[in-house]
Amino acid sequence: MSSWIQVFAPIVVICTIFALLVLFGIWVTYLGLREWDRRKRACPNCGRKGSGDVIESDVISTRSYVDTRQVGKAKLGRSTTWGAIRVTETQYEDLYQCSICGHRWTRESAEVERVPVSDTQYREKP
């Protein structure tokens, strides 16, 4: 019975330390993202971090095109395999309002979406 504990106790300790390290990593990432978000929403008028809220979001432009993506590595004597992807770029104009002083400002943001095109399956590029 005691030998069973002697074998498993170090494993439990190592697993606990590992789990704590993972949790610490998640916590640091969360704090970093929150600080980044607070700086992004800082008011240009009163300088308060994280006071701006998006009250309106408008689409300025959308661009959609088909691009190719490398799906296989080039090997000696073989050409690279390429796959088709549809790229959709959307540009937004976000209207922010400061919750402290009521100042309003706009900021542009962009979103890029890449979706593989299934009907034009992998083809070889010369």
- Chain residues binding Zn ion by CB under 5 A are 43, 45-46, 98, 100-101, 103
41/43 with CB nearer Zn ion: 43
- Shortest Å distance, C-beta 107 to Zn ion: 14
Nearer to Zn ion (CB atom), residue 41 or residue 98: 98
Question: 105, 74, 110, 68: which is closest to 89 by C-alpha?
Answer: 110
Q: What are phi and psi of 28, to 5 degrees?
A: -65, -45
Q: How far is the CB of 51 from Zn ion (least distance, A)?
A: 5
Q: What is the amino acid identity at position 80? A: T
Integer Cα distance of 110 and 86 in angstroms: 16
Cβ nearer to Zn ion, comparing 45 with 90: 45
Distance between CA 88 and CA 76 in Å, rounded?
34
For the CB of residue 49, give the shortest distance to Zn ion in the complex, in Å: 10
End-to-end CA distance of the chain: 68
By beta-carbon proximity to Zn ion, the closer residue of 71 and 100 is 100
Shortest spacing between CB 68 and Zn ion, in angstroms: 46
CA distance 50 to 61: 27
